[in-house]
């Protein structure tokens, strides 16, 4: 469904925000069993993937025809590397549901010819019919995927160099920031913007400042997530903590409470 602005959903707790996001994904898969999902990594989606895996265990969700494209991957890491995003997805979702391996796409961190691999990734998304629903998180500096501040708002899948801040933020599975690869392959901002729907999830006080900028700030490559204001159908699911710095939070709640039934997600 097309909307004329972001739809902001503020839930009392992170757990309720995660349940809302999982319910949106469940609805997408039930409405279109062979849908194409854009997947994201980071700490935010982990509980959402756990909820989807539990739905699958209970027999409520069938991934047998679902196709996925992940946003990004570290250059130099193969699919078996414990810190790769391909492994992350295996651990948190793919290994727990009945998705077919041939329906999973994650950029190849070991690709020899990176520009060609990126062009092929774009072509594969197009050949799959485009992404129906793109799950997104936002980093504290406003990057989506690995589109760091200053990324072109029209960018396509390509090699990026991460910032020192991102290396520090993502050090966890590597042990220290200096072990985090400097290069990544990421869908571009233009690629993300072509998804039919986007589902942005942000939880916790650490995201409050960037969430306020993303929703209420000027659109700028300095905070790539602000481009989502231009997306025709973007739902943003927040908990109270992540929503704490929004100027118009009361209005967003009012809009949500008075939404006509036909507009509800």
239 forms beta bridges with 11
* Minimum CB distance to ligand GLP smaller for 145 or for 188: 145
* Minimum CB distance to ligand GLP smaller for 40 or for 157: 40
In the complex, minimum distance from the CB of residue 258 to ligand GLP, in angstroms, rounded to a whole number: 31
**# residues near ligand GLP by CB under 6 A:** 14
Q: Could you confirm whether 4 is annotated as catalytic?
A: no
Q: Could you confirm whether 241 is annotated as catalytic?
A: no
CB 110 within 8 A of CB 191: no
Helix (H/G/I), strand (E/B), else coil: 24: helix
In the complex, minimum distance from the CB of residue 172 to ligand GLP, in angstroms, rounded to a whole number: 9
CA distance 138 to 198: 12
Applying the rule CB under 6 A, the residues between 27 and 86 that interact with ligand GLP are 40-44, 71-72
**Token pair in block for residue 11:** 């839930």
**The one catalytic residue among 148, 169, 239, 241:** 148
**The one catalytic residue among 56, 117, 143, 231:** 143
Q: Which residue has the tokens 């902001």?
A: 8
> Which candidate, 48, 57, 6, 43, places its Cα nearest to that of 25?
48
Q: By Cβ distance, which residue is nearest to ligand GLP?
A: 42
CA distance 61 to 63: 7
Residues in contact with ligand GLP, shown as a per-residue x/- string from 135 to 154 under the rule CB under 6 A = --xxx-----xx--------
Q: Could you confirm whether 143 is annotated as catalytic?
A: yes
> Which candidate, 136, 73, 142, 147, places its Cα nearest to that of 104?
73
CB 246 within 8 A of CB 207: no
CB 185 within 8 A of CB 192: no
* Minimum CB distance to ligand GLP smaller for 73 or for 122: 73
**The one catalytic residue among 72, 73, 239, 241:** 72
In the complex, minimum distance from the CB of residue 46 to ligand GLP, in angstroms, rounded to a whole number: 8
Q: Could you confirm whether 141 is annotated as catalytic?
A: yes
**Token pair in block for residue 120:** 């092929």
* Residue count (the chain): 265
> Which candidate, 27, 234, 37, places its Cα nearest to that of 134?
37
* Minimum CB distance to ligand GLP smaller for 145 or for 181: 145
**The one catalytic residue among 141, 216, 222, 240:** 141
Applying the rule CB under 6 A, the residues between 99 and 118 that interact with ligand GLP are none
* Minimum CB distance to ligand GLP smaller for 62 or for 141: 141
In the complex, minimum distance from the CB of residue 201 to ligand GLP, in angstroms, rounded to a whole number: 8
CB 134 within 8 A of CB 195: yes
* Minimum CB distance to ligand GLP smaller for 109 or for 256: 109
> Which candidate, 220, 47, 69, places its Cα nearest to that of 147?
220
Which residues here bind ligand GLP, judged by CB under 6 A? 40-44, 71-72, 137-139, 145-146, 166, 170
Catalytic center residues: 72, 141, 143, 148
């Amino acid at each position: 469904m097309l909307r004329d602005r972001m739809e902001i959903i503020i839930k009392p707790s992170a757990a309720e925000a995660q349940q809302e996001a999982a319910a949106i994904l469940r609805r997408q898969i039930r409405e279109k069993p062979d849908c194409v999902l854009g997947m994201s990594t980071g700490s935010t989606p982990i509980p959402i993937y756990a909820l989807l895996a539990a739905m699958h265990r209970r027999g409520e969700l069938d991934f047998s025809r679902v196709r996925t494209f992940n946003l990004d991957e570290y250059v130099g890491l193969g699919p078996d590397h414990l810190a790769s995003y391909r492994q992350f997805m295996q651990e948190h979702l793919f290994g727990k549901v009945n998705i077919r391996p041939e329906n999973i796409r994650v950029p190849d961190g070991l690709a020899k010819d990176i520009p060609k691999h990126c062009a092929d990734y774009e072509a594969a998304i197009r050949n799959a019919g485009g992404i129906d629903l793109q799950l997104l998180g936002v980093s504290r500096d406003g990057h989506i995927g690995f589109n760091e501040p200053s990324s072109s708002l029209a960018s396509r899948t390509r090699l990026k160099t991460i910032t020192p801040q991102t290396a520090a933020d993502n050090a966890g599975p590597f042990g220290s920031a200096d072990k985090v690869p400097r290069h990544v392959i990421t869908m571009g901002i233009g690629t993300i913007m072509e998804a039919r729907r986007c589902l942005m999830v942000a939880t916790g006080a650490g995201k409050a400042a960037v969430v306020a900028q993303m929703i209420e700030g000027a659109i700028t490559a300095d905070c790539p997530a602000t481009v989502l204001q231009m997306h025709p159908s973007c739902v943003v699911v927040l908990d109270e903590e992540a929503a704490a710095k929004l100027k118009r939070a009361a209005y967003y709640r009012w809009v949500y409470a008075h939404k006509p039934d036909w507009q509800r997600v």
